[in-house]
């Protein structure tokens, strides 16, 4: 007996008939089991799961029609064990009744062995086809489940601030083409993405992994939102076939800058709500979906808006507004906004919208993926950034604005000595158009990681470099006044003006910013770690020089004004330099404000 031998079930109250049919089936290489009435036929079916059933009609206890009905009910739709009625009733009614009962064919006695065998072959062919289809379907199902598992376990479970960002996610098929990501930048800002790949199922999932990898890696390295978007677009253009693309909204939320950076390529409008549930800003789609064009359109730009810390950003995919009730009515923007507003007031946008949707759609079939993210504009950095803002603990006097001259670091704070010459230096000099196109901070941070190893303390350094570089660019090279940012209108005016002036940089090849880093690790002196205990304490000092080609400014008066204003919490601007000041040991402006020297000291005790 081989395993691929098929099994037939013969149900007939005549032992003689059973014997006869069994012999014929065995000649066709079937194994045969036998039942003598309908009821035990059903039992045998359940027990043996045969590949083929031969069924008599008139039998005691339960007739063939009833037994067939039960078997078909038990085996379900996808699992076809063909049933052939064997009967002497050569009437139309018998034929029709047997098909109605769920029989797949009928064979009228008397028949020759040759006709019987031909019938068996033809019907088995259909059975084989059905099981092939079933196997394919199961494989597809397995693939889809794998894709879903990958999405939920691997991709979305690793999102940042899962507990803070509200999410609705209802897939139309088992795997949804919608994807939502959140990750934290080195300076504590948060990047969020909500996207929708065309199509559903596995087809929609191929872009998810590269998008996720790029989004996370670039955010972690400190690239700006726009650079990440450009890269994701490039990647998807190369990867996806012509009719597949990625509609997505991006947000970068900066608590300390009190601003949000938004880009919407192909999704419905995004919302900025205040805590009274008033819509402050709508973010319309301003760009075709990603993956269609080799590069973003030349006028592609990030929208920058001032935020209050109690504001909420809400992004949705089109599945929500296109969800239908059983009578075909669309859920629509109006119902969505209404639900979202109530949700904002009750601190549960996702929950409220989801409830409304369920009531509205009832049992109607869901045609598209439904996804929403509800992002608070604060609360992302209670621990992480709080830690990184504090200066290294060993430093008792971190607040000084400008110690004139060289600070004495020859070991006073750490009982350690620094080498006189830096262990290494790094300089990057950018001119003209490059100032617009290149973000030097990730480049510098990469170098630092390569030279001095990775470490938590570089998060603070990243913030310092970013703030100082942006200051040099905005207020130095571009000559923008930060007082513009003090009002909400001025805020957007500032960013418009900034974009305009950045574009003119290509005509000014003499404009430059020069960044110099000098690194002094603590010397590995052993004199202090006496024999008793090997205290391994690592640390060092990074001396940062940033020089720009701008006009400079009246250093002292600005700093004074800034610090009083910030104490009274009246300004949108000036927070950057305040942050730098907290993080650095010293910050010093020279050469009429065109050169800033900052010293960042860190130490780690293991």
Partner 1 sequence: MAIHSKVSSDGKQLTIVIEDRFDFSLHQQFRDAYCRNNTSDVTYTLDLSKTEYMDSSALGMILLLKDHVQLYTGQLVISKPNDTVNKILEIAQFHRLMTIEL
Cα-based distances in Å from 492 to 236, 470, 482, 566: 31, 17, 12, 21
Task: Report in angstroms the alpha-carbon separations of 224 from 2, 6, 299, 302.
Answer: 65, 64, 17, 11
Strand partners, 516: 427, 545
**Shortest distance, CB of residue 242 to partner 1, whole angstroms?**
5
Tell me: cis bond preceding 209? Omega within 30 of 0 counts. Answer: no
Q: How far apart are CA 284 and CA 47, in angstroms?
A: 62
Do residues 53 and 45 touch, judged by C-beta distance below 8 A?
Answer: yes
Q: What's the chain's Rg over C-alpha atoms? A: 36
Shorter beta-carbon distance to partner 1: residue 186 or 207? 207
Measured CA to CA, the distance from residue 81 to residue 62 in angstroms comes to 20
> Which pairing describes strands 105-108 and 537-548: parallel, antiparallel, or unpaired?
unpaired
Instruction: Give the burial string for 587-601 (b: 16+ CB within 10 Å, else e).
Output: bbbeeebbbbbbbbb
> Closest approach of Cβ 320 to partner 1, in Å?
13
| 175 versus 418: smaller Cβ distance to partner 1 | 175
Contact 186, 222 (CB under 8 A): yes
CA distance 58 to 253: 77
- Long-range pairs of 63-67 with CB within 8 A, sequence gap ≥ 24: 63/38, 64/11, 64/38, 64/98, 64/101, 65/97, 65/98, 65/101, 66/38, 66/101, 67/11, 67/38, 67/39, 67/41, 67/42
Report the distance separating Cα 8 and Cα 265, nearest Å. 60
Q: How many beta carbons lie within 10 A of that of residue 424, not counting itself? A: 14
Q: Give the shortest CB-336-to-partner 1 separation in angstroms.
A: 14
Minimum CB distance to partner 1 smaller for 266 or for 550: 266
> Is the Cα torsion angle 411, 416, 420, 423 positive or negative in sign?
negative
Q: How far is the CB of 434 from partner 1 (least distance, A)?
A: 28
CB of 377 to partner 1, least distance (A): 24
Nearer to partner 1 by C-beta: 316 or 517?
316
**From CA 524, how far away is CA 527, in angstroms rounded?**
9
Measured from the CB of residue 271, what is the shortest distance to partner 1 in angstroms? 15
The residue among 178 and 511 lying less far from partner 1, judged by its C-beta, is 178
28/318 with CB nearer partner 1: 318
Task: Give the nearest distance from C-beta 328 to partner 1 in angstroms.
Answer: 11
Q: Select 216 or 287, whichever has its Cβ closest to partner 1.
A: 287
**Nearer of residues 368 and 548 to partner 1, judged by Cβ:** 368
Strand order in the sheet with 279-283: 166-170, 370-376, 312-316, 270-273, 279-283
CA dihedral sign, ordered 364, 197, 201, 151: negative
CB of 243 to partner 1, least distance (A): 3
DSSP string, 215-274: HHHHHHHT--HHHHHHHHHHHHHHHS-TT--EEEEEEEEETTTTEEEEEEESSSPEEEE-
Q: Can you name the residues that pair with 155 across neighbouring β-strands? A: none
Q: Nearer to partner 1 by C-beta: 36 or 264?
A: 264
Q: What minimum distance in Å lies between the beta carbon of 288 and partner 1? A: 4
* Helices (H), ranges, 402-457: 434-437, 440-452
| Residue nearer to partner 1 on the CB measure, 270 or 306 | 270
Q: How far is the CB of 286 from partner 1 (least distance, A)?
A: 7
Nearest distance, CB of residue 258 and partner 1, angstroms: 29
When the beta carbons of 77 and 243 are compared against partner 1, the nearer one is 243
Applying CB under 8 A, the residues found at the interface with partner 1 are 196, 198-199, 242-245, 247, 265-268, 285-289, 292-293, 297, 318, 368
Across 88-233, the runs of DSSP E, i.e. the strands, are: 105-108, 166-170, 178-184, 190-197
Beta bridge partners of 68: none
Measured from the CB atom, the residue of 21 and 244 that comes closer to partner 1 is 244
Cβ neighbours around 376 below 10 Å, total? 18
Nearer to partner 1, 95 or 237 (CB): 237
**Minimum CB separation from partner 1 for residue 96, in Å?**
34
Q: To the nearest whole angstrom, how small is the minimum distance from the Cβ of residue 366 to partner 1?
A: 13
């Amino acid at each position: 007996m081989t395993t691929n031998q098929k099994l037939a079930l013969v149900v007939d109250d005549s032992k003689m008939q059973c014997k006869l049919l069994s012999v014929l089936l065995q000649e066709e290489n079937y194994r045969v089991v036998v039942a003598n009435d309908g009821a035990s036929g059903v039992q045998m079916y359940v027990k043996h799961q045969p590949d083929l059933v031969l069924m008599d009609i008139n039998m005691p206890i339960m007739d063939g029609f009833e037994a067939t009905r039960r078997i078909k009910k038990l085996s379900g739709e996808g699992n076809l064990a063909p049933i052939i009625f064997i009967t002497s009733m050569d009437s139309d009614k018998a034929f029709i009744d047997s098909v109605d009962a769920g029989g797949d064919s009928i064979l009228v006695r008397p028949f020759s062995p040759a006709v019987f065998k031909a019938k068996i072959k033809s019907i088995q062919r259909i059975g084989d086809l059905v099981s092939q289809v079933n196997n394919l379907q199961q494989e597809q199902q397995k693939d889809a489940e794998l894709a879903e598992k990958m999405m939920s376990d691997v991709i979305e479970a690793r999102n940042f601030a899962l507990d803070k960002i509200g999410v609705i996610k209802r897939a139309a098929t088992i795997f949804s083409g919608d994807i939502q990501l959140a990750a934290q930048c080195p300076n504590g800002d948060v990047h969020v993405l909500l996207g929708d790949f065309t199509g559903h199922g596995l087809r929609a999932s191929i872009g998810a992994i590269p998008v996720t990898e790029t989004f996370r890696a670039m955010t972690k390295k400190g690239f700006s939102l726009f650079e990440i978007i450009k890269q994701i677009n490039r990647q998807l253009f190369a990867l996806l076939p012509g009719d597949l693309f990625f509609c997505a909204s991006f947000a970068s939320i900066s608590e300390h800058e009190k601003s949000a950076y938004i880009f919407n390529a192909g999704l419905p409008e995004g919302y900025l709500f205040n805590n009274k549930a008033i819509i402050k800003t709508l973010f319309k789609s301003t760009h075709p979906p990603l993956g269609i064009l080799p590069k973003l359109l030349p006028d592609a730009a990030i929208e920058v808006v001032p935020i209050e810390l109690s504001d909420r950003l809400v992004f949705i995919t089109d599945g929500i507004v296109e969800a239908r009730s059983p009578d075909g009515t669309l859920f629509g923007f109006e119902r969505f906004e209404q639900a979202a507003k109530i949700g904002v007031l009750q601190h549960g946008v996702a929950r409220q919208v989801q409830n409304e949707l369920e009531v509205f759609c009832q049992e109607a079939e869901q045609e598209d993926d439904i996804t929403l993210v509800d992002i608070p504009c604060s609360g992302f950095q209670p621990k992480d950034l709080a830690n990184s803002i504090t200066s290294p603990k060993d430093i008792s006097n971190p607040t000084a604005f400008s110690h004139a001259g060289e600070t004495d670091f020859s070991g006073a704070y750490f009982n350690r000595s620094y080498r006189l010459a830096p262990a290494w230096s790094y300089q990057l000099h950018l001119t003209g158009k490059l100032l617009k196109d290149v973000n030097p901070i990730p480049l510098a941070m990469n170098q630092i990681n390569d030279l001095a190893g990775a470490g938590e303390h570089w998060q603070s350094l990243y913030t310092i470099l970013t703030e100082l570089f942006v200051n040099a660019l905005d207020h130095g090279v571009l000559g923008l006044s930060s007082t513009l940012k003090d009002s909400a209108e001025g805020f957007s005016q500032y960013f418009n003006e900034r974009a305009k002036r950045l574009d003119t940089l290509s005509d000014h090849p003499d404009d430059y910013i020069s960044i110099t880093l000098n690194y002094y690790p603590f010397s590995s002196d052993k004199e202090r770690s006496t024999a008793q205990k090997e205290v391994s304490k690592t640390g060092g000092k990074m001396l940062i020089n940033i020089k720009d080609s701008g006009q400079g400014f009246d250093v002292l008066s600005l700093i004074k004004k800034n610090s009083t204003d910030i104490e009274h919490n009246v300004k949108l601007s000036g927070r950057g330099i305040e942050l730098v000041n907290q993080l650095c040991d010293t910050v010093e402006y020279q050469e009429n404000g065109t050169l800033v020297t900052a010293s960042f000291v860190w130490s780690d005790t293991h």
